[in-house]
Amino acid sequence: MKRVVLIAETTILFSTQAEVVRYRKCLAAQAADSALGVNVTTPNALVEELWEVWGSGERLVSDTQRRLIIKQLLAEQSDWVDSPGTAELLVRFLREYLCEVDEAFLCAHESDLTPSDWDIVCFIKKYKEALVQAQLIEPVQALEQLASCVQLGSIIVRTQDELPIYYRSFLAAVAKEVRIEQAQIEASPRGGDGASSTTGEEVSSKEYVLLKPAGSSVRAFMIDQAIRAGGAGTRIVVTSPNPVVACDLLKHSLCAQGYTVMLDAQKTFRETLFGQAYCALAGIANDQAQLSYNELVEAALLYLNSPYAQIPPSQAERLASAFRSDRSITREDIHAALASSKNFGVFESLFEDTEGGIVLSYFEGLIHSLDLDEAQKVAERAAIARLKQLYFDAADLGVDAYELVPLAERISVPYGYSIAQAEEGSALVEAEKIPSFLEDDRAGMPCILFTTFEQASALPKHSCDQVVLTELNNESYSGKIHRSTLSDFLERYSLPFEDHTIETLEARFKRVCALACMQVVFEYERYDRNGESCYPAFFLETFMNERALAGCPVEVREAGEEAFDSASRLSLQPVELEAEMPAERGVLNAEDRMHLLTYEQDKEGIERLVVSPSAIETYRSCPYKWFVERKLRLDDEGEAFGGREIGAFVHGVFQRFYEAWALQGYDRVTPETLSLAQELLASVFEEYADEQKSMQPGDRLIAVSELERQELEQLKSKLLANLSFQQNLFKDFHVRSHEYAIRAEDKVTYGGAIINGRIDRVDVDDKGNFIVIDYKGSIAKYAAGFDPDALDEEESFESPEKIQALIYAQALRRKEGLQPKAALYLSYSAKNEQALMRGSLAQTLIESETLSRASCVKGNFESFLDLVEEDIARTIERMESGDLAPDPRTKEACTYCPVLYCEKRANGS
Ligand code: SF4
């Protein structure tokens, strides 16, 4: 017989505890005794209350315990991939559908089940057994039991999302009546003289604006402007998929305008400092983790810089530089180097045994001594407390400590603060303790809350003047329904399956829009970082179409990156958005000039700039790019397996090969000697590759993964083929030298400067003619022929884009008095003889199909070099003047430029 449970005559269900508290306060404010007989709670809390009294003794399984059991069961089987994705699918499936696959189901479908269906059924069986063993019970099982023994009064459902099917069935079976009501409550009228008191008139005249910034730097500017232009609004809500980032971007400007800025967000475990150190060390301490070199170094650097590691900065810097500059370093080496540091052992014990969880108290104690603000400390404490609980649950369920890392990564903790500027120009300070955005009115003081779309949708209707919904793109809010083997299983056997993703997002969007009394601002970027078009979230698109059809379209404001001067920050004063604001031309300051420009006296005692042809070429392609690359010393970023290292390796192989070839009495490769030459090249390649590890870290090439080893093998094949392409080249010429140095001491002047650099290769003939050759990976756009007759009288000569080899040819001509015949680039990746070389060569040398006509220089080759020098002298002059303007010669200049946010960046790069 059913028993009536008198929790209350009426139970009102809200999604979150925050909404419950808010509603209770509302009831208390409106009529002191109206709360009598009403139980306001969440769906989960109601199950707990009922189970507490009428349950059969097992504990309700927590989300952590559920994940731990699933993790353990996944590790014991081989039918499914043991991945976070599989675990996530199983979590939802078991939480909602566990009771559907019971004895009755098996009786009805036993003969229809496929082998993969049996895998699902067996997994469910094992999961149920694991629950019994741990004396746990799923809420869905608990409700099934409770349905037979309790009855409830009226239930009012005001949850943000639809309740799961099993919960709705339970309520339908036990409640006297179930009513679905509007999830969003109405804000209580606010006092003060702010513009926020809601009237029907204000709401009906609500404005809608859509911001469409071209990219991310102008985005913050547009949002800031929209808030400034928002009218007399004193209370604003800004939503973002990542409110921490949005708040960081805008808080200084907003505080300067007199707003109190509040953040109500979450940090993932990896976003907390403790989580970063823990996850980084998990990869280093686990010998099964199999991290690549880059992942290992990234993890080591994260750990070294963590305040929890307590490693002195000088030691951390030394170790970081040692790790970055040595690709041959192994996990064991990094482990050994870190092992002696202060807290390494304490951290490591966390991965040895779940009992190690007790050392987390040590880190909790450390927090108070860290240089963090109060909000950060609260988040750090919460992260460690959640991890501690995970360890305790894991110890109960017998899960290994190493298995906990992916589960720890799922932890998220509340992170929030409230700041204001005490007086104009002063630093931001923690605002006096404010209970919440909703409760703090303080006579209309302006206040902005940054939060997520989900959290904002749980706020009461009309609780602010303006709401700004940022990043409303279809990536952040896709509404995609996730199908899987498990959902197919449910549908095939006509088990109740629902996916409310689309309806949920639509309902949230409506509730967030309903927060504002005066203005709703939407925002999404038109292009992503790669220049690809972005599209609005589906619900925004629908809303825009509906408004347009109704004859009241939303006002659209657009701005491109060119509208935002990259040198400016968000202005602290209101400013007008201008359509075009040319970037200020940068000028080299005295300090940088000293570091970046070197001067020496030439043979006549005149002070001249000392410069390499590669620096001239980069500067000419864009002065600001040259400055940033030199200033940041991007070449010093550590050892890699990239173009720079491969190029240096190829230079070394060719140099060694031609030296050894000369010792055997040959100075060029011919069809008769090709196979012998290839044999020699292969052994030189092998030897040189083996030597790399013992070389000083720097430009060496070390393959640390299978993929890289395969790449190295492919490189060998390419060079062997390359040798065969070289056999027919310039038959009268032979290799004279590799890595030919033109030093500053040689005082070779060019275009007013002293040249300093190395020529990859010089080939000569017996008549005193020479060819300069530069080795490159790709030479697609290197052809630089010239026809003096094609030049108009009016037209001034302009050098080709690639000028290094041309500068070297002129410098060598000047240094040795030889006659230049060509300045060429040889591609070591060429696929055939025709693709082997590009550049500039005298017409008299066009002897075969090997070089395209596009590389032919008609007329006198030496006059051509003189013309180039005259032109490049202007570039050198500009460099000496200190001009650092972002000024790309071609859009290719921007393609590999490290300056990410540049107002002059050529489109599409
Ligand atoms: S992005 Fe283009 S214009 Fe800007 S600094 Fe780089 S190369 Fe120059």
Best of 618, 625, 892 to mutate for ligand 1, by most ligand atoms within 8 A of CB?
625
Q: What is the mean pLDDT of the chain?
A: 86
pLDDT digits (tens, 9 = 90+) for 639-650: 788 888 899 999
Task: Determine the pLDDT at residue 256.
Answer: 87
Distance CA 169, CA 123 (A): 25
Nearest CA to ligand 1 atom 2: 894
What gap in Å lies between CA 70 and CA 81, rounded to an integer? 12
Closest alpha carbon to 730 in 667, 803, 788, 809 = 667
**Single residue among 703, 721, 751 that ends a domain in this structure:** 703
φ, ψ of residue 739 in degrees (nearest 5): 50, 45
User: What CA–CA distance (Å, rounded) separates 403 from 113?
Assistant: 32
3-class secondary structure for 654-684? HHHHHHHHHHCCCCCCCCCCHHHHHHHHHHH
- Ligand 1 neighbours, Cβ below 6 Å, are 622, 624-625, 886, 888, 893-894, 897, 899, 902, 904-905
| DSSP per residue, 597-618 | -EEEE-TTS-EEEEE-HHHHHH
Task: For residue 906, give the ligand 1 atom closest to its CA.
Answer: 2
Give mean pLDDT in consecutive 10-residue pieces for the chain, a chain of 909 residues: 64 90 78 68 94 90 94 89 89 91 88 91 94 94 91 91 92 93 73 39 72 83 85 82 92 87 93 95 83 89 93 89 84 90 89 81 92 92 95 89 88 91 70 59 76 92 92 88 86 85 92 92 85 88 93 87 48 40 57 86 94 95 89 66 90 95 93 95 95 82 88 95 90 92 96 96 94 92 89 82 96 95 94 90 73 85 96 95 89 80 65
CA of 902 to the centre of ligand 1 (A): 6
The pLDDT, as a whole number, for residue 635 is: 55
54 shares its domain with 164:
yes
Question: Pocket of ligand 1, candidates 632, 897, 907, 909: which has the most ligand atoms within 8 Å of its Cβ, to mutate?
Answer: 897
195 in any annotated domain:
no
Residue 151 three-state SS: strand
Of 642, 653, 822, 647, nearest in space to 723 by CA: 653
Q: Do the domain assignments include residue 374?
A: yes
Residue 567: predicted pLDDT: 36
Q: In this structure, are 166 and 248 located in the same domain?
A: no
Q: pLDDT, tens digit, for every residue of 748-766?
A: 999 999 999 999 999 999 9
528 within domain boundaries: yes
- What is the model's pLDDT at position 189? 56
The CATH number of whichever domain residue 529 belongs to comes to 3.40.50.300
Strands (DSSP E) found in 138-191: 150-157, 175-180
What pLDDT was estimated at residue 387?
95
pLDDT of residue 424: 67
Q: Which atom of ligand 1 is nearest to the CA of 621?
A: 7
What is the pLDDT at residue 895? 81
Are both 32 and 158 inside the same structural domain?
A: yes
- The pLDDT, as a whole number, for residue 897 is 82
- Counting atoms of ligand 1 from 1, which one is nearest the CA of 904? 3
Question: Domain check: are 121 and 71 in the same one?
Answer: yes
Q: Is residue 420 part of a domain?
A: no
Distance 622 CA to ligand 1 centre (A): 6
CA 385, CA 365: separation in Å to the nearest integer? 12
Same domain for 296 and 229, yes or no, is no
Indicate if 300 and 338 belong to the same structural domain.
yes
Let me know whether 227 and 162 are in one domain: no
Position 120 in a domain:
yes
Within this chain, do residues 399 and 452 fall inside the same structural domain, yes or no?
no
Strand partners, 520: 208, 467
**Total number of domains constituting the chain:** 4
Does residue 156 share a domain with residue 34? yes
Which regions of 159-304 does DSSP assign to beta strands (E)?
175-180, 207-213, 235-239, 260-268
In the listed set 517, 541, 563, which residue is the last one of a domain according to the structure? 563
Residue closest by Cα to atom 8 of ligand 1: 886
- Does 440 map to a domain? no
Angle at 874 between CA 871 and CA 875, to 5 degrees: 100
Question: Are 152 and 9 in a shared domain?
Answer: yes
**Distance from Cα 895 to the centre of ligand 1, integer Å:** 8
Q: How far is the CA of 899 from the centre of ligand 1 (A)?
A: 6
Pocket perturbation via mutation, ligand 1, pick of 617, 618, 622 by most ligand atoms within 8 A of CB: 622
Same domain? 453 vs 390: no
Between CA 387 and CA 842 the distance in angstroms is 72
Domain boundary among 348, 383, 408: 408
- Cα 906 to ligand 1 centre (Å): 8
Query: Is residue 321 domain-shared with residue 248, that is, in the same domain?
Result: no
* Inside any domain, residue 885: no
**What is the 903 CA–ligand 1 centroid distance (Å)?**
8
Which atom number of ligand 1 is nearest to the Cα of residue 622?
A: 8
Is 697 within a domain? Answer: yes
- Ligand 1 centroid distance, CA of 804 (Å): 20
Residue 747 gets the label, from left (phi > 0), alpha (psi -120 to 50) or beta, of left
Give the model's pLDDT for residue 562.
55
State residue 596's pLDDT score.
Answer: 85
Structural domain including 317 reads: 269-408
Which pLDDT score is estimated for 600? 94
| The pLDDT of residue 511 | 94
